Structure 1
């Protein structure tokens, strides 16, 4: 019987992938929680009021310093839209909040290498540009405006006072944000790591090579494969049900299996069109606009994945799939990952303790 050793390999790979990205997750969410606590959100709507380049840049910046959870990003995007931001700027905010956040870069670096970090952030900017062009050319901007006019948003609360970074209360709030991000996203990360580990061990390379028109590890990527993989990558993501950070282990498994560099990027971008997200868009904007938004995002993701793949391949920067061999990674050793995990496990426990203090204060204040 080979089931027991295969199961052992699967559990080892799952545990190893989680260990590999643990410090990056804690660091990224800690920075995200601090930014949410200490960076004021006042005037966000006023500086995102149109679809100009400057407005889209500001929307991208605000998104990049906000939550990386796809569902939270969609909710915040709708909130700023309902308050008066342009729909294109609101979508740019959502894209940046899932694809230009620092924790995603850390996880990509630790699991897939620096090329993916550079390509992810450069591609994220290109994704916003392509989306904006599609919205200007064929986007139902007026229909979105009609939705806003017909609805009354209940998220009209004023921004609360921003605490000082030198205050303990401020860091309690940052810690509470840190734990909130974890609570929203841990299931997606767990699903992503478990599915990725199972795929690495159980799915034969021949399947991926057929699906992605791949010739195997180390082979040159043809123009046809670049195009096909960029088109297929987001579609695979649609049925994966996993958010952007949770998508990274899956992307590593797919890249290891033979998907092209750009196809893997397009897959990571596809977290915004997974089926649960499409249902969220439907709830917010209606069936027709949700479908049109999904199509526009899909086209933008495929175009971005292909263009980035082409540029990196011509420049000689695209990594070979054999460099991300998840199945043969040495996960547990006394290397920088071990020491960083020890440090950031301590940081995470400290933030958890501070968040409990914040919750206790909030509970007391509520009863007074």
Structure 2
């Protein structure tokens, strides 16, 4: 009977994770399709076309307001990159779209308390600064630019081919891009959610807790460093991404991981195995390895800095005194209403894409 119960819990968790990220996926891929269709390359180059402080800041701002999950953020980042955004700005856009968004703050507040919300956003800015520095000094910027040139997307001015946002043909093109992006990586997303749900249920918390050094009454420097280093690696092994990694971060924090280690784990949703497979599909193996290493190093350093900062301020919560509750996946909340709205949006885009293919088929025969 216990196995049957665990299978039921696994299916429930998988469904719950899919439910939590559904609206963000539709929104992210819809924005990606719109960027590919309506944003002139010249304009993208003007806004995010270099690695200056202004360009990086704008990338972070636009990423934050795009409000997306990690999979959709990767698709949007690729779109802005191909439209002429600097590689560093595209990576910053992706980081902000996953770690500086409002809905993540809501989930963190409800499950882990306000210190984690503040740490997530402060740390997100630190993470962007570190990634920018590493990309400028040792990052494969030239490799990304060569990839864009090979794809025939060098950022040259092709504004004459950009349709109006008020035209039906323009939205038909955006819908086609939406379906194409979705068809490219939906299997990776499905595998990630299924594996993550299974791991959350079947792998005991003691296994993850054993990976972290535990000190005595206090937290040692060695423990802070080790936890910050291991936190993102646990995220990689767990396959858990987007909102789904917050409940697991809460369980790890209750089990003894340091504050900084938990923050580094939450950032690790950008380097989980399914995400790395998406990067590989987009950019190739060599660039994926380089990007993954840079993100990992930046996450570990950020977690350590945040740990020291919040400890000095006295803002680190006591895990033993504040037990974290379990996440309720299904409720009549903002996720419910957003899922309803974006189910209609996704269906409309899918239908519009099908109409475009039908018309093209008829024109071909005609």
Question: Do the structures match in fold with TM over 0.5?
Answer: yes
Which stretch of the first structure deviates more once superposed, 155-164 or 196-205?
A: 155-164
How far apart are the structure 2 equivalents of 1:319 and 1:185? 40
How far apart are the structure 2 equivalents of 1:2 and 1:324? 24
Q: CA deviation at 1:109?
A: 5.1
Alpha-carbon contact 1:29-1:178 (below 8 Å) kept: yes
Task: Return closer, same or farther for 1:161/1:333 CA change in 2, 3 Å cut-off.
Answer: same
Structure 1 equivalent of residue 18 of structure 2: 18
The answer to whether the aligner puts 1:301 opposite 2:299 as a matched pair is yes
Structure 2 equivalent of residue 100 of structure 1: 96
How far apart are the structure 2 equivalents of 1:19 and 1:305? 29
How far apart are the structure 2 equivalents of 1:210 and 1:34? 46
Structure 1 equivalent of residue 9 of structure 2: 9
Structure 2 equivalent of residue 344 of structure 1: 342
Matches within 5 A, 1:180-191: 180-191=180-191
Name the SS for the 2:150 alignment partner.
coil
Matches within 5 A, 1:43-122: 43-45=43-45, 50-60=50-60, 69=71, 72=75, 79=82, 89-97=86-94, 99-101=95-97, 105=101, 108=104, 111-113=107-109, 120=120, 122=122
Q: CA deviation at 1:21?
A: 3.4
Number of matched residues?
349
Structure 2 equivalent of residue 38 of structure 1: 38
Q: CA deviation at 1:363?
A: 4.5
Name the SS for the 2:162 alignment partner.
coil
Query: 5+ residue gaps in structure 2?
Result: none
Name the SS for the 2:44 alignment partner.
coil
The answer to whether the aligner puts 1:210 opposite 2:224 as a matched pair is no
Task: Return closer, same or farther for 1:117/1:44 CA change in 2, 3 Å cut-off.
Answer: farther
Deviations 1:274-304 (A, max 9, x none): 56849967996885x8765544332212122
Structure 2 equivalent of residue 233 of structure 1: 231
Deviations 1:139-190 (A, max 9, x none): 267xx65996899624247456333333333333333333334334433433
Query: 5+ residue gaps in structure 1?
Result: none
Structure 1 equivalent of residue 150 of structure 2: 153
Task: Return closer, same or farther for 1:264/1:160 CA change in 2, 3 Å cut-off.
Answer: farther
How far apart are the structure 2 equivalents of 1:305 and 1:331? 27
Task: Return closer, same or farther for 1:11/1:41 CA change in 2, 3 Å cut-off.
Answer: same
Q: TM-score, normalised by structure 2?
A: 0.71
Task: Return closer, same or farther for 1:20/1:343 CA change in 2, 3 Å cut-off.
Answer: same
Alpha-carbon contact 1:20-1:110 (below 8 Å) kept: no
Which stretch of the first structure deviates more once superposed, 299-308 or 58-67?
A: 58-67
Deviations 1:81-127 (A, max 9, x none): xx7x7xxx413312422x22279836635654476676555544322
Structure 2 equivalent of residue 255 of structure 1: 250
Deviations 1:214-259 (A, max 9, x none): 69xxx997765543332112223444567xxx44414532432335
How far apart are the structure 1 equivalents of 2:171 and 2:281? 37
Alpha-carbon contact 2:51-2:88 (below 8 Å) kept: no
